[in-house]
Amino acid sequence: MHGITAIFKKELADHFSSYRFMILFALIAMVSLITAYMAGLNIRQDLAGIAKPQFVFLMLFTAQGALFSLVQFVAFFGPLIGLILGFDTINRERNEGTLSKLLSQPIFRDAVINGKFLAGVVMITIMMVSIILVITGLGLSMVGVVPGAEEILRILFYLVISIVYVSFWLGVAILFSILFRSIATSALAALAVWIFFSFFVSLGATVAANALAPDAQESGPEAVVRHAQIQKAFTLVSPMQLYTEGTATIIDPLKKTTRSIVLVGPMERISLSRFSGPLPLGQSIIVVFPYIISLIAITVICFAVSYTVFMRQEVRSV
Amino acid sequence: MGKQAQAVIETDALTKKYNGEVAVNRLSFNVMEGEIFGFLGPNGAGKTTTLLMLLGLTEPTSGKARVLGINPIREPIKVKGMIGYLPENTGFYNDLNASQTLRFIADLNRLSREVADERIENALTMVGLDSEAEKKVGAYSRGMRQRLGIAELLIKEPQVAFLDEPTLGLDPDATNWMMELIAQLCKEKKMTVLLSSHLLHLVQRVCHRVGIMINGAMVAQGPMDQLAKEKLGIGKKKYTLEEIYMKYFRET
């Protein structure tokens, strides 16, 4: 653990005092305020005719305001937080000549990367927690609902998954900052990956499904199922998709499956139509467990790759 | 130098290859306790690579190295704690001021708060930055940055110092100041110094012994008088180090 605390403390202080962080924070605070406000307005209209509404509090996060819900917002823009926090982690030190000096101090080499990653994760946690607290506070005053114990648990669970998700992108950014010497290159490469997964994967999934199962509509139900399966398999390549599916039943207890209606089996369909009540938290978690595990796995793998590359780099090139 | 001066740095056939290209070739040399060793050679001769191997930052392809009797590859943390290294073109965190920079170094060396406070104050006074300690490093001149680099090194109170081109880009006055400080550190703090520099007349002034490294190999090492006698056939005080150096350089 030599040195990891010293580096962690310095990185955290750097983050807090950087303009980058303040701009990011202002932007995110603004958007979450607006989303929550919109959602709050909508909820009141939606609940007008319902006698006994359930999980109203969670609707603050899932209700689509004018444009999108907070959950969608985090799925889409959360990666940017990670990328912006991490894209120049190692190569800035390298370009400014501070890395060789840092490494010549009596610390283990991994303390540098561990300390920096940890500081990034703490920043992400602070941001996510404050966003959720802002929305909670706003919801309390606008809608006037107090969250129940289960709702709080669900929010906490959602928070943890979101932190893992954004940390994955932090890991990607750090990896690029190790691989590329130029800060501009690593920033662009990280952005390119983000754009690829946000836009092109879903587009590519449809194209691939069309190619592999052509004329699905005419060839009968089996072909339609195959088409849907291929499309789903392709979209799951994207961490964004993993995250969206992984949080779907957690934040929305009325949602009971992550499958599209085409892929739902007959028994499942019967149970879906018969039991319209909300899913208990334990069951909600079980439904999305594979996604959550995959999300954690890719985060760990991404960090492990950065770690290995960094440990093996010759110091001369540092 | 006492009579029983011990070797602080020993290397034996130290070799480093980068992708098959030899950077350091079977290097063997010693640096004795309390001396200033001038580490000379053209750019790209492998001086920095040698320093990195002695610090345990890069692994030798073959050969042995010992610093203060410790193998830097086996116990890099221990070795790095005892060596002060001032890299060539050293960088700083521009948003920190001098005290914060030194505090960070102290934290990395796990010094207690009291010890750190004292050492930071002493180091700043010694390099003459005590009046500028609250100024951000980004606003420092080249000379001040180099002084801060020395201060960083002093925080560790190292037994051995590796100075890689400490006078690069400094004005004549600052260069003189730097050389005097190095001589003073060696004398007062009993620090062993491995000094790499291209300013041969200054090296001649402060160094006890020199080693000349060309193309990854040490072509000569020893007291300057001895090298002058061997190479130029002239006695004491009648040569310049430049003459010796150029002679070796042309022959290789």
**What per-residue string of b and e applies to B63-77 under the rule 16 or more CB within 10 Å gives b?**
bebbbbeeebeeebe
Interchain contact, B48 vs A103, CB within 8 Å: no
Among candidates B77, B78, B105 on the partner chain, residue whose Cβ is nearest the Cβ of A108: B77
C-alpha triplet A275, A276, A282: angle, nearest 5°? 80
Three-state DSSP class for residue A100? helix
pLDDT at residue B1 is higher than 70: no
Measured between CA atoms, how close is A15 to chain B, in angstroms? 11
Among A105-119, B110-124, B201-215, B238-252, which stretch is predicted with the lowest mean pLDDT? B238-252
Residues B42-66 have pLDDT tens digits of 988 889 999 999 999 988 999 999 9
Report pLDDT for A301: 94
Residues B133-146 have pLDDT tens digits of 999 999 999 999 99
Report pLDDT for B235: 67
Closest to A221 in 3D by CA, of A165, A261, A178, A163: A261
Is the separation of the CB atoms in B232 and B244 below 8 Å?
yes
Report pLDDT for A316: 66
Among candidates B55, B93, B94 on the partner chain, residue whose Cβ is nearest the Cβ of A104: B55
* ipTM of predicted complex: 0.87
Q: What are the φ/ψ torsions at residue B134 (nearest 5 degrees)?
A: -95, 5
Q: What are the φ/ψ torsions at residue A59 (nearest 5 degrees)?
A: -65, -25
Which chain B residue's Cα is nearest to A108?
Answer: B77
Among candidates A96, A107, A314 on the partner chain, residue whose Cβ is nearest the Cβ of B108: A107
C-alpha to C-alpha distance for B57 and B49, rounded to whole angstroms: 9
Q: Which of B85, B107, B112, B194 to probe by mutation at the A interface, max A CB count within 10 Å?
A: B107
pLDDT at residue B114 is higher than 50: yes
Joined together, the tokens standing for residue B209 give 């012994």
Q: For tokens 């208990």, what's the residue?
A: A280
pTM of the model: 0.89
Joined together, the tokens standing for residue B182 give 């190095």
**Which residues of B sit within 8 Å Cβ distance of A?**
18, 48-49, 52, 55, 57-58, 77-78, 80-81, 83, 85, 87, 89-95, 104-105, 107-110, 152
Closest to B41 in 3D by CA, of B66, B21, B16, B24: B24
Joined together, the tokens standing for residue B205 give 């002034």
Which chain A residue's Cα is nearest to B155?
Answer: A105
Neighboring chain B residues of A3 at a CB cutoff of 8 Å: 108, 110
In percent, the amount of chain B with pLDDT more than 70 equals 97
C-alpha to C-alpha distance for A241 and A292, rounded to whole angstroms: 11
Three-state DSSP class for residue A11? helix
Measured between CA atoms, how close is A6 to chain B, in angstroms? 6
Residues B148-181 have pLDDT tens digits of 999 999 999 999 999 999 998 899 999 999 999 9
Joined together, the tokens standing for residue A239 give 């961490």
Which chain A residue's Cα is nearest to B46?
Answer: A316
The DSSP secondary structure of B82-147, one letter per residue, reads HEEEE-TT----TTSBHHHHHHHHHHHTT--HHHHHHHHHHHHHHTT-GGGTTSBGGG--HHHHHH
Is the separation of the CB atoms in B147 and B133 below 8 Å?
no
Q: Which residues touch A201 (CB under 8 Å, ≥6 apart)?
A: A234, A235, A237, A238, A240, A241
Interchain contact, B85 vs A315, CB within 8 Å: no
Joined together, the tokens standing for residue A97 give 């000549």
Residues belonging to chain B: 252
Q: Where are the beta strands (DSSP E) in A82-219?
A: none
CA-to-CA separations, A315 to A101, A310, A312, in angstroms, rounded = 11, 10, 9
Report pLDDT for A151: 87
Measured between CA atoms, how close is B89 to chain A, in angstroms? 7
Measured between CA atoms, how close is B104 to chain A, in angstroms? 7
Which chain A residue's Cα is nearest to B103?
Answer: A6
**Which residues of A sit within 8 Å Cβ distance of B?**
2-3, 5-7, 9-10, 14, 17, 93, 96-98, 100-108, 314-316
Per-10-residue mean pLDDT, chain A, length 318 = 86 91 84 80 75 76 74 87 93 91 91 95 92 84 81 91 95 95 95 90 84 76 82 85 86 74 72 74 85 92 94 71
Interchain contact, A316 vs B58, CB within 8 Å: yes
Is the separation of the CB atoms in B181 and B188 below 8 Å?
no
CA-to-CA separations, A166 to A39, A124, A269, A308, B134, in angstroms, rounded = 23, 7, 34, 21, 36
Q: For tokens 């030599």, what's the residue?
A: A2
Q: Which of A104, A112, A114, A318 to probe by mutation at the B interface, max B CB count within 10 Å?
A: A104
Joined together, the tokens standing for residue A127 give 């941001």
Domains of chain B: 33-251 (3.40.50.300)
C-alpha to C-alpha distance for A190 and A209, rounded to whole angstroms: 27
